[in-house]
């Protein structure tokens, strides 16, 4: 998370709500869009769906 979301941001210029929104967006991206080799090049959500374990 640090490399992908924390280091590129200038947090001192953000409000608390903006920071919380950015964290929420990052978590959504990580679960829904970020593919992983260990999950057969699927996102976490896609992998769970392919395994029949929609959580």
- Tokens 């392919």: give the residue: 50
Alpha-carbon gap, residue 8 to 51, rounded angstroms? 34
User: What is the per-residue pLDDT across 3-52, written as a single tens digit (0 to 9) for each?
Assistant: 666 666 777 888 889 889 988 999 999 999 999 999 999 999 999 999 98
The pTM (predicted TM-score) of the whole model is: 0.70
Whether 55 maps to a domain, the answer reads no
Which residues in 19-44 are b (16+ Cβ under 10 Å) and which e?
A: eeeeeeeeeeebeeeeeeeebeebbb
Q: Note the pLDDT of residue 17.
A: 94
Residue 31 lies in a domain: yes
On whether residue 15 sits in a domain, the answer given is yes
Structural domain harbouring 23: 2-50
Total tally of structural domains belonging to the chain: 1
């Amino acid at each position: 998370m640090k490399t992908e979301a924390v280091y590129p941001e200038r947090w001192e210029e953000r409000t608390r709500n903006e920071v919380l929104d950015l964290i929420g967006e990052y978590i959504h991206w990580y679960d829904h869009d970020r593919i992983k080799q260990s999950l057969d090049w699927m996102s976490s959500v896609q992998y769970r769906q392919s395994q029949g374990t929609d959580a």
